[in-house]
A and B are shown apart, each in its own frame.
Chain A
Amino acid sequence: MVFCSAVLIQQTVFSNKWPIETNVLALLPENKQDKFAQKAFEQISDSMNNRVVFVLKGKNRDNLVSAAKHFTGRLSKIGLFAQVNATVSDEQQQAWGALYFPYRAQLLSEASKLNLQTNPEGRTHHVIQQVYNPFSGVSGQELKSDPFLLFRDYLNARSNSNNNFLLYQNYLLSQVDDNAYLLIQAHLAGDAYDSHLQSLLPQLQGLENDVEQQFHVKLLHTGTLFYAAYGTNSAKSEISTIGFGSLIGIMLLLLLVYRSALPLMLALLSIGCGLLVAFVCTVWVFGKVHLFSLVFGASLIGVSIDYAFHYLTERLVDEKDWHASDGLKNIFNAITLGLITSLIGYLGLLMAPFPGLQQLSLFSIVGLLCAYLTVVLCYPALAKTPSKTKQPNLAYFRVWLQCWQSKKIQVLLPSILVVLALVGLTEVHFDDDIRQLQAMPEALISQEKTIKGIVGVGYQQRLLLIKASSEELLLRRLEQLSTTFKQWQADGVIQSVQSVDQFIPSLQTQQQNYLQIKSLYEHQAEVLSEKLNFKEMITFKQSFKPLLMGEYLNSSVAKALGFLWLGEIEGQYATVVVLNDIKNPEHQALLVETYISQQSDITVLDKATEVSTIFAHYRVFIGEMLLAVYFLIALLLVGYYGAKKAFKVLLPPFVAGLVALAITAAFAIPITIFNLLALLLVLGIGIDYTLFFAEQKHATRSENTLLAITLSAITTVLSFGLLALSETQAIQGFGVTVLTGIIVAWLLAPFAMQNKREK
């Protein structure tokens, strides 16, 4: 214990960082099947998750600019961001030109390409007209380097495809109706799930409020950080609610029933030992404990206290006849069997190749084992003195147990519950959507929608992974696909498309362009030179030099979308294409789906769906596990007790599980992997209850058992009742299932009692 505390202190205090993981995706196994998809997700989420976008909204542009200056000046000082990009530097403005200029003889905009094919004379007229036009801004320099003014058209086409912004005093500004929107982007100084960064959010909020008030503007923000922080905070508050709620409940119960300090201290000792060692072991094995493991782990308080309750109840009722070691003997079989059955359940989870479940099960196994060992090893030594508290009045318990001697009750009560459960079970529906795990506050979602609308990327994005055997073939394939995507865009099926072929044409296209431009010079250079009265006839001097992807990726312009290019993976080249806002009506979405599914080299990247598939997979896994655990425990019990008694021990937790599932379904809560985990817990705790009754050799002592399991049930119900209040649907569902399961398990527990006749 001292060692554990030392490790914990070393881990937390000295590294100044809680080893707590809050990213939901960290719960999941890595996608090992598809290296391309994995790399795509890593690259995209790195680039997306650590980005925060602010939008200032107001009527007056100059006021917006002043507000932006004020805001960004202070923003950098918070320490939340490594980089704040509010203005577009002169260098950035010229970066595209700098990238493409050396290759201008190979670059043609779509419009120019068509124009040169159908009407090369028109180009000459266009140039003459532009040269005379004072607003076109054709300088001597430009005319010399690009007499047919093709390069400016190319750059213009690049900059104008899907872009709603204009530059105002070097700030990015978008005008929608009466309102101007100023865009500021920032990159986090670390990971969006970093708790230190999340702790700086109140300062950001303060600054945002200041700016809004001082400049009378509206400030919107979006980014993974805000969602992550929200999730962390709600999970943290849930952990403390459950933790403190059940702790306080337990302390009050202990004081009320045992009316003495020693039981309280003992109980706290076993809870403390269990949680501390469990936490340290999990950190030691996994490096980090996931928040979800902690939330569920906090529920361990309610389970690990059970062993203590039984021991303390023995002590309470024995009064002056108390012998610390005899007391242990009376309950040893029951608590040991209880531990073994619980461990069987959790060990099954440990085998799941699912980091989240492994953590949860390790946490629970270690926690339970410690609580058990505390009771077995420490309690006899610490609780030598008999209890001085008067026995509580157990009359009600006696009446309740008396009822259970009636055959009618023994058959009727479980039967009625089973029938009710079967009715409820028809309502069960499964839902593995990962979004249930993430609390999604409305305010953040609406800000995100607004911002994405202004920026023009759309709220719904579809990521496509495209592979080919070489860079050139991949670019050619993208160009081929782009014609379809552009048609969709023109038809309004999608809002826009982002793909690297918009920045780098394939070499094939570059050569075609080169020949087309060369031909233009051959046919039109003389006419143009004559009409504008050039001193020398213009000639085509440029040689072909390939513009490759590397050139683009090395340029500062690749900061924006360069991450779409995945490059070489195992001899194949891959890239991601983004389709923004696939519009409903259904048939349009279907058009997109059908087309994509017909292309063998396209994979749809959809993290939510992928994760949900994993969840569905593990829901089935846990379901099977649950059955296997029941089977194993049944085998164990049959071997130990014989078939009849084993049935009596196992039936109450089984019925409790059915009822719990039915009631959860009746609340219209979809059944997920977490509800099945809850059933595992119901089994583990429920069987503890029945085992104690089964192990009770003297019927007169049944009241004591009932007292102990009642106390235990109250604490469990207390902690899980609080869980049912969670904002996160998955946790809420978990709470409801455990809550109802435990109540039923408690209700039916006397079923395992030996009938007086059998004695």
Chain B
Amino acid sequence: MFSMRLFQKIVFSFLLFCSFSLTALTLEQLQQQLMMQQILRGDFSQSKTLQMFNQPLLSDGAFLLSQQQGLIWRQHNPFPVVLVLAKDKLRQQFEGQDAAVIDAQDNPMVFYFSHFFLSLFKGDLSALESQFSLSLTANKKGHWRLHLEPKQPPLNNIFKYIDIEGENQIQRLTLIELKGDSSVINFTNVRQQTQLSPQDKDAFEF
């Protein structure tokens, strides 16, 4: 008696953000570059433009990506919150509140997406290829854009396309939904780092 009720169309989207090097002209090269980035940190600003909203929803903060550990997303405005995405766990903590942890074993759906996220950050473009058709364009000034069109549900029921742009570093991530709603995340001040700070190390411990 096997329960098959799995993975319905939950409207999950995801965020792609990576850092690419200037010379990456092919997907293989891009992937290689990505794999070499061990630890990246920087600032982000997000703008959500939905038809329901009078004006775009703005937020900003800082992020840290570790090939080994995962991702830390520290939102500063409009309200502070810390999201930590580890290999098979997701933690969310508001200021002055207890952290909420979602475990992969209890929530395979989230695990599925977090796994997907992490393979993205590790530069595993081959995993992306099963879900998206990828096209890469680059100009002579070193600006490149990776265009991703979802091939299958649930993603193609939500997104028209996703663009990742960058030069030396990743600069912008654009997610365009089918009905024209969009999210744009701009990355600034992105830099490589050799070691995790004790504070970041602690953040991954949960």
User: A residues within 8 Å of B by Cβ?
Assistant: 48, 53, 88, 90, 92-98, 129, 131-144, 152, 155-156, 158-169, 172, 183, 185, 455-457, 461, 498, 503, 532-536, 557, 559-561, 578, 580
Contact = CB atoms under 8 A, between A and B. Distances in A.
Given A133-B92, A135-B113, A455-B2, 6 more contacts: A134-B185, A137-B113, A158-B5, A164-B105, A183-B2, A559-B4
Contacts of B6: 88, 93, 159, 163, 165-167, 172
Contacts of B14: 135, 137
A532 B57 contact: yes
Given A97-B8, A129-B94, A152-B11, A533 B53 contact: yes
Contacts of A53: 2
A578 B177 contact: no
Nearest to A142: B11
B44 to A, nearest CB: 9
By Cβ-Cβ distance, the 6 closest A-B pairs, closest first, are A140-B181, A137-B13, A137-B12, A166-B108, A96-B8, A97-B9
Q: Is the interface of B mostly helix, strand, loop or mixed?
A: loop
A97 B177 CA distance: 19
Contacts, number: 169
Nearest to A149: B11
A96 B3 CA distance: 13
B153 interface: yes
B153 A561 contact: no
B177 to A, nearest CB: 5
A536 B53 CA distance: 8
Contacts of B52: 140, 143-144, 532, 534-536
B48 A131 contact: yes
Nearest to A536: B52
B73 A134 contact: yes
A88 B4 contact: yes
Interface string B93-126: 0100000000001111101110101000000000
Contact of B107 (A90, A152, A156): A156
Given A134-B73, A183-B2, A160 B107 contact: yes
Interface residues of B, number: 58
Given A141-B158, A534-B52, A167 B181 contact: no
A455 B153 CA distance: 25
A126 to B, nearest CB: 10
A151 B40 CA distance: 36
Contacts of B79: 129, 132
Nearest to A158: B5
B153 A90 contact: yes
Contact of B111 (A88, A166, A535, A557): A166
Contact of B153 (A93, A137, A498, A533): A93
A158 B7 CA distance: 10
The listed residue with most B CB atoms (<10 A of its CB), out of A98, A138, A163, A456, is: A163
B8 A535 contact: no
26 contacts: A93-B9, A94-B8, A97-B8, A97-B9, A131-B48, A132-B78, A133-B81, A133-B83, A133-B92, A135-B83, A137-B13, A137-B14, A138-B11, A139-B158, A140-B50, A140-B181, A141-B11, A141-B177, A141-B178, A159-B8, A159-B108, A167-B112, A168-B112, A457-B1, A498-B3, A535-B53
A247 B141 CA distance: 94
The listed residue with most A CB atoms (<10 A of its CB), out of B50, B73, B152, B153, is: B50
Contacts of A557: 4-5
Nearest to B75: A132
Nearest to A133: B83
A695 to B, nearest CB: 63
Contacts of A580: 1
Contacts of B57: 131-132, 532-533
Interface string B4-32: 11111111111100000000000000000
B153 A560 contact: no
B51 interface: yes
Contacts of B85: 135
B115 to A, nearest CB: 8
Given A132-B59, A135-B14, A185-B2, A159 B7 contact: yes
Nearest to A533: B54
Given A139-B13, A140-B177, A155-B10, A163 B3 contact: yes
A271 B108 CA distance: 65
A94 B1 contact: no
Nearest to B94: A129
Contacts of B115: 166
B34 interface: no
A681 B55 CA distance: 93
The listed residue with most B CB atoms (<10 A of its CB), out of A134, A138, A155, is: A134
Contacts of A162: 3
Contacts of B53: 532-535
Contacts of A159: 5-8, 108-109
Given A166-B112, A167-B112, A139 B7 contact: no
Contacts of A92: 4
